[in-house]
């Protein structure tokens, strides 16, 4: 199958202040909109997309629109963010004050979604992507940090809890692909490619060379 490009939405007020944002439908900040304008140039350099799907939540759908894909996009409810239930709007420090050692990808959220439920949703989405008739190009998915990390873990056959090991910044893109043209060898061809990454060390994005014929991703910084 063709490569799948995962796009995390631009900055919101809660992502800026590190508050868990599941079902709350926040807009992008002005900085988030500026991030997406930069992201748009990077996505255009990848070439056209055969399919563009977006979460129904406005921070993702607005990112899709600002990136220039509103007229060709389809809303996909399975791309919505992890429902944080009783922990909605809380920072990690506030949650751990109530529940020491808590980890979203291992423990889930009371009143929200469990890792098992997220895994089932991710698996259903992957199955739907694999049922696409030869799309003739990459597929773009506009979604959210926690869900996309879980999706990437499931793509390469890991448990959802391993999604905690992935870092995904706002207005970044990543690429899921396969090796040797077979779904039996899923791979991550690039991860957390963005203009705004500020972590260390700053290394070029790692691109799967053997699959460079599938999608061209320009060099950038990634986690």
User: Where in the chain are the domains?
Assistant: 4-222
Alpha-carbon distance of 183 to 1, in angstroms, equals 7
State the pLDDT at residue 104: 98
What is the per-residue pLDDT across 83-127, written as a single tens digit (0 to 9) for each?
999 999 999 999 999 999 999 999 999 999 999 999 999 999 999
State the pLDDT at residue 100: 98
Reported as a pLDDT band with limits 50, 70 and 90, residue 201 is: very low
Question: What is the model's pTM?
Answer: 0.88
Of the candidates 11, 81, 113, 144, the residue annotated as catalytic is 81
Name the residue with tokens 């439908």.
25
Active site residue 144: no
Average pLDDT value for residue range 175-179: 96
| More confident position, 54 or 210 | 54
| More confident position, 201 or 168 | 168
- Give the percent of the chain with pLDDT over 70: 86
CB atoms within 10 A of CB 184: 7
Say whether the peptide bond before residue 201 is cis (omega within 30 degrees of 0). yes
Please give the helix or strand (H or E) that residue 153 lies within, else none.
helix 145-155
Active site residue 88: no
Q: At what angle do helices 115-130 and 145-155 cross, to 10 degrees?
A: 70
State the pLDDT at residue 6: 98
For domain 4-222, give the CATH superfamily: Phosphoglycerate mutase-like (3.40.50.1240)
Chain centroid to Cα 162, Å, comes to 15
| More confident position, 118 or 181 | 118
- Give the percent of the chain with pLDDT over 90: 79
Whether 13 shows a pLDDT value over 50: the answer reads: yes
State the pLDDT at residue 196: 58
Average pLDDT value for residue range 19-29: 98
Whether 26 shows a pLDDT value over 50: the answer reads: yes
Name the residue with tokens 């490569």.
3
Average pLDDT value for residue range 37-66: 94
State the pLDDT at residue 2: 84
């Amino acid at each position: 199958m063709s490569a799948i490009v995962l796009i995390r939405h631009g900055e919101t007020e809660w992502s800026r202040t590190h508050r868990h944002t599941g079902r709350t439908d926040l807009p992008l900040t002005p900085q988030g909109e500026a991030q997406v304008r930069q992201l748009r140039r990077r996505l255009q350099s990848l070439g056209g997309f055969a399919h563009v799907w977006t979460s129904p939540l406005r921070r993702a759908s607005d990112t899709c629109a600002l990136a220039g894909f509103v007229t060709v996009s389809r809303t996909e409810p399975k791309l919505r963010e992890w429902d944080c239930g009783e922990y909605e709007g809380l920072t990690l420090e506030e949650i751990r004050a109530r529940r020491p050692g808590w980890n979203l990808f291992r423990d889930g959220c009371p009143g929200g979604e469990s890792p098992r439920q997220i895994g089932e949703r991710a698996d259903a989405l992957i199955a739907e992507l694999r049922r696409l008739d030869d799309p003739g190009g990459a597929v773009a998915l506009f979604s959210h940090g926690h869900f996309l990390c879980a999706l990437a873990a499931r793509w390469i056959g890991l448990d959802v809890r391993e999604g905690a090991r992935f870092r995904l910044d706002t207005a970044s893109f990543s690429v899921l692909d396969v090796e040797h043209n077979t779904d039996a060898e899923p791979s991550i061809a690039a991860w957390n490619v963005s203009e705004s990454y500020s972590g260390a060390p700053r290394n070029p994005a790692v691109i799967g060379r053997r699959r460079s014929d599938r999608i061209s991703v320009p060099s950038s910084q990634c986690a």
